Amino acid sequence: MITLRKSSDRGQADHGWLHSQHSFSFADYHDPQEMGWGPLRVINEDSVEPGQGFGTHGHRDMEIISYVLDGELEHKDSMGNGTVIRPGDVQRMSAGTGVRHSEFNPSPRSPVHFLQIWIEPAAVGMAPSYEQKYFSPEEKQGRLRLLASQDGRDGSVTVHRDTDLYAGLLGPGEKLTHQLATDRMAYLHLIRGEASINGVRLETGDAAKIKGEEKLTIIANADSEVLLFDLD
């Protein structure tokens, strides 16, 4: 079964300096039918204006992944990390028992456009930790490149949940396939472009909630970028 989640149906927030679209209930947006999908709890598509950002704030017991699409995002946290995240980078922060951090757009001219993803961990009360890795476009072109996994295999970042996160870049007419175990569910987010999954058509910002499908076939109708979550 595949359920289409249209981009236009996402929650919207406009704070002037921040423009955000919420795939699931978040902050002032609440929809009891959209509280997450399995352990996947948040996908926020954020655009932050130049010189603006999120002041220092706290998180706990959540796996937080940041995926920058355009621009730069400066990160600082209470673990002593201070980094800049750029397109191709995948940042994983395990909040565990508690961490405080800030996110800021250091550019004086250009907005930063990124996805913030929250995954519920398999256990609470873990020590906070941080990881950041770069994945080139060539690694994702014409294939599903593993970005995050529980065991950190194939050079992916490590998340504390039996969840695999893949990214793929496809040209027009290109096809990708993925086998899904019978006890697993999946979620496909189309970052940009136009594609279909098992015949269900998606446009930029659309998503597909997937359950009970053994084989996933993704076909691009235009240059496209996808994120695929294989979830327990």
Which tens digits make up the pLDDT trace of 112-158? 999 999 999 999 999 999 999 999 999 999 999 999 999 999 999 99
pLDDT at 192: 98
CA separation for the pair 210, 94 (Å, rounded): 26
pLDDT at 167: 98
CA separation for the pair 11, 20 (Å, rounded): 8
Domain boundaries, the chain: 2-231
pLDDT at 39: 98
Q: In the predicted model, what is the mean pLDDT of residues 29-55? A: 97
What is the Cα gyration radius of the chain?
17
Domain 2-231, architecture per CATH: Sandwich (2.60)
Distances (CA, A) of 8 to 4, 70, 84, 178, 203: 11, 21, 30, 27, 10
Does residue 172 sit in helix, strand or coil?
A: coil
Q: Which helix (H) or strand (E) holds 138?
A: helix 137-140
CA separation for the pair 193, 227 (Å, rounded): 12
Q: Which helix (H) or strand (E) holds 140?
A: helix 137-140
Q: Tens digit of pLDDT for each residue in 184-227?
A: 999 999 999 999 999 999 999 999 999 999 999 999 999 999 99
Q: In the predicted model, what is the mean pLDDT of residues 91-102? A: 97
pLDDT at 26: 96
- Return all residues near 84 (Cβ < 8 A) that are at least 6 apart: 72, 73, 74, 75, 106
